[in-house]
Amino acid sequence: QAQLMESGGGSVQPGESLRLSCAGAGDYSVTCMGWFRQAPGKEREGVAALYTGGSSTYYADSVKGRFTISRDKAKNTMYLQMNNLKPEDAALYYCAVDNFNPGCQWAPLSGDQYAFWGQGTQVTVSS
């Protein structure tokens, strides 16, 4: 069972960058690893995901071109580089993984595809 720990959140101004880390993401093959966020009063949203069975990455339309998901297998860590942050990006960000789920590539931004979740790291974007 994966134990995930997010870090890297903080308070920034619009246009600035943050890099989130997810330790304990493991070296799982043929599954998805993802980042999600939830703002107060809003539903959880899939932000970015990668499929470990290939090289595919997936992004929500709202973050395409600004966010990049990556992983370092040797460090068992997944990252989310967030550039040009906007106030609407403010949320609690979670990382999530599953240990074997080849079907996840058909809905990689759906939380239903993930069994293990971190506790979250807060991102605040305001001027």
pLDDT greater than 90 at residue 99: no
Q: What pLDDT score does 54 carry?
A: 81
pLDDT tens readout for residues 54-79: 879 999 999 999 999 999 989 999 99
Nearest partner of 58 among 47, 42, 73, judged by Cα: 47
What is the three-class DSSP state of 74? helix
What's the mean pLDDT in 3-20? 97
pLDDT greater than 80 at residue 29: no
What's the mean pLDDT in 80-106? 94
Q: Which H or E run includes 12?
A: strand 10-12
- Phi, psi dihedral angles at 103 (to 5 degrees): -75, -10
**By percentage, how much of the chain surpasses pLDDT 90?**
80
**What average pLDDT is seen over the chain?**
94
Do the Cβ atoms of 21 and 120 come closer than 8 Å? no
